[in-house]
Chain A
Amino acid sequence: MAYPDDLRYSKEHEWVRVEDDDTATIGITSFAADELGDIVFIELPEVGSTLSQFGTFGVVESVKAVSDLYAPISGEVLEVNEALRDTPELLNSDAFAEGWIAKVRLSDAAEMDALMDADAYAAETA
């Protein structure tokens, strides 16, 4: 399974896309979405709240499973994907684009070093 090259990945199956110097977008991977099955609900973080790397920041539910969300990087939440409230299925259908979860102001760019690139993540989930 190939994953987008421009993202970084955590062991907890979240991804990060650095947008510019200090902002990034985060989401869950297609692997995570497939494992969960049909996602029916996501508890989004509050705009203005602060995430800390590898800390929990929300919950995602499928019909028969529930999982915590772990922040892949630290930072302040600038925006959340409101579309997920009514159409959480975007997490299944387009995890890396339309299914993004939040935009974050990075507090420590060096944290990216703790994440995997696409090849390493592909090996991790193989």
Chain B
Amino acid sequence: MSVAEPPGRSDPSGRGSAFSGATGGSGLTIVEPLIFDASRRERRAVRFPKPSEAARAAAAGQPELPASARRRGAPRLPEVSELEMLRHFNRLAHLNHAIDIGFYPLGSCTMKYNPKVNEWAARLPGLAESHPLDPAQLSQGSLELMWLLAELLKDISGFDAVSLQPAAGAHGELTGMLMTRAYHRDRGEGEQRTKVLVPDSAHGTNPATATMVGYETVTIRSNERGGIDLGALRGALGPDVAALMITNPSTLGIFEDQIDQVVAAVQEAGAIAYMDGANLNAILGRFRPGEAGFDVMHFNLHKTFSTPHGGGGPGAGPIGVSARLEPYLPAPMPVLAEGDPAEVLANAWALRSTPGARFELDDDRPKSIGKVRSCYGNFGMFVRAYTYIRSNGSQGLRTISEDAVLAANYLRVRLHDAYDLPYDRLSKHEVVFSGRRQKREHGVTTLDIAKAILDHGIHPPTIYFPLIVEEALMVEPTETESLETLDRFVDVMHGIAEQAKTDPDAIRRAPTTTPVGRLDEAAAARRPDLRHTFRDETEASMA
């Protein structure tokens, strides 16, 4: 098997820029200066009206801004024409890989297609222009949407209540652990329960969250099959344990096949069972954590429910909880104040409003941990996720997980000859390979392999995570990639494994077709350059 050589990088001297006007001759290869470099005095894009004479006259008796509070000198924002700035950002866009451009099998991130009808919905003026503090009678649509989404998430997860407020997965974790502590305190066990158990395969956010809530993290090792070691878990559980935080399916892409025993052991010890729901995409319709006895879980709407990742956010991290944690949920909560819930749901499923139904925000929650974010959460993400869940419907959600798991297992069997597979078991949403063979035999590291993948127009898998897998390559294909795309990825990965044997230096030089080559991250961290330096600052520092 061989893979076509990627084209070489074109002559750097021929590159154009949005500002030089010299785009001809360099094709679409772009080096884009900072927007500040295009700034010219008096250039303008958007203009605004001047205050009217009437306004000036009427305001004459009002207090002036005191001189002491006034800024001296305008901020040096760029002064550019609208076309120049538009080109600048459009050209920057060209420097990104994205799901809408190509395959993005980044493990643990669920880079699936983000349907465009969701974007259409989020931009509806009736939703986008809705002010969070408008009187409730003006916001019935927003409140109903939040209430409906929470009802759907409850049903999907088997939990008794859902708060949409957390803005991201890690934020959901923080919320859930603050609630865990409030629960134990309420029972008089707040002082005694000081530890949170976290498997060694967990995301870094789990232990970091435990610390933010004042808990001590105890790491539980994985067994030789990649699951949590039940003996080690039972040994660690006790009256001093507040919670277990467990990711299921795990970061190894493995379903904890003793999960019923894990939950039972945690409950028996009087601790809270927290499920990190990052990998829910694999188990829709197959496993409902609330039903299985978990007390709390965060959803990642930007993973399972397809809201776009936006280059690192915004996301949304609602949490579902069991009845015993419900009193501690963040306030306020959208509630149906008047109307029959079953009727409202039935009507909504039939695309109808319910006459007389009234929604409001319930802020009277005396045991609540408080607010974790201003307003009610990332509402725009709720619109997208609601649209997505309704579009897919019951059968569609089940198909999502079936196809996601099918694709991950397909890649597992197609690639395990070329790459080591430390845990060769049924996969769920993702499969974790190891590049240790390539490193040991050919001196090609997993980082090198990832960079070589870039030259094929594919985003590499997550690398060096989970920490318990040496030279880890974590591949999550998702359900929206065609078999042709999966097969091409298999060919690329085989080709790279072959090239590691025949021409390892070429892999160590990769990537060669990207706008920049490997960047010096050590230099970036040793002497941080975190903002633009204006020319007069440079002159001042030299003077």
Chain A positions within 8 Å of B, measured between CB atoms, are: 38-41, 61-64, 86-89
Q: Of B253-261, B340-348, B406-414, B519-527, which binds chain A?
A: B519-527
- Interface contacts (Cβ under 8 Å), in number, total 19
19 interchain pairs, CB-CB under 8 A: A38-B521, A38-B522, A39-B522, A40-B522, A40-B525, A40-B526, A41-B525, A41-B526, A61-B525, A62-B522, A63-B521, A63-B522, A63-B525, A64-B464, A86-B527, A87-B526, A88-B526, A89-B522, A89-B526
| 6 closest residue pairs by CB, A with B | A38-B522, A40-B525, A63-B521, A40-B526, A63-B522, A40-B522
When distances are taken between beta carbons in the complex, the residues of chain B under 8 Å from A63 are: 521-522, 525
When distances are taken between beta carbons in the complex, the residues of chain A under 8 Å from B527 are: 86
How far apart sit A61 and B526, CA to CA, in the bound complex (Å)?
Answer: 10
Minimal beta-carbon separation of B263 from chain A (angstroms):
33
When distances are taken between beta carbons in the complex, the residues of chain A under 8 Å from B526 are: 40-41, 87-89
How far apart sit A40 and B528, CA to CA, in the bound complex (Å)?
Answer: 10
When distances are taken between beta carbons in the complex, the residues of chain A under 8 Å from B522 are: 38-40, 62-63, 89
Q: Closest chain B residue to A40 by CB distance?
A: B525
Interface size class of B (residues with CB under 8 A): under 10
When distances are taken between beta carbons in the complex, the residues of chain A under 8 Å from B521 are: 38, 63
Q: Closest chain B residue to A62 by CB distance?
A: B522
Minimal beta-carbon separation of B413 from chain A (angstroms):
31
Known: A64-B464, A88-B526. 8 other contacts (CB 8 A): A38-B522, A39-B522, A40-B526, A41-B525, A63-B521, A63-B522, A63-B525, A87-B526
How far apart sit A39 and B525, CA to CA, in the bound complex (Å)?
Answer: 9
How far apart sit A108 and B526, CA to CA, in the bound complex (Å)?
Answer: 36
Which B residues between 450 and 472 are near A, CB-CB below 8 angstroms? 464
Which B residues between 23 and 75 are near A, CB-CB below 8 angstroms? none
Q: Closest chain B residue to A92 by CB distance?
A: B522
How far apart sit A38 and B527, CA to CA, in the bound complex (Å)?
Answer: 13
When distances are taken between beta carbons in the complex, the residues of chain A under 8 Å from B464 are: 64
Minimal beta-carbon separation of B473 from chain A (angstroms):
16
When distances are taken between beta carbons in the complex, the residues of chain B under 8 Å from A39 are: 522
Minimal beta-carbon separation of A106 from chain B (angstroms):
32
How far apart sit A40 and B525, CA to CA, in the bound complex (Å)?
Answer: 6
Q: Closest chain A residue to B521 by CB distance?
A: A63
How far apart sit A89 and B464, CA to CA, in the bound complex (Å)?
Answer: 23
Minimal beta-carbon separation of B26 from chain A (angstroms):
32
Which B residues between 517 and 543 are near A, CB-CB below 8 angstroms? 521-522, 525-527
When distances are taken between beta carbons in the complex, the residues of chain A under 8 Å from B525 are: 40-41, 61, 63
Minimal beta-carbon separation of A58 from chain B (angstroms):
17
| Residue of A40, A41, A64 with most partner-chain B CB within 10 A | A40
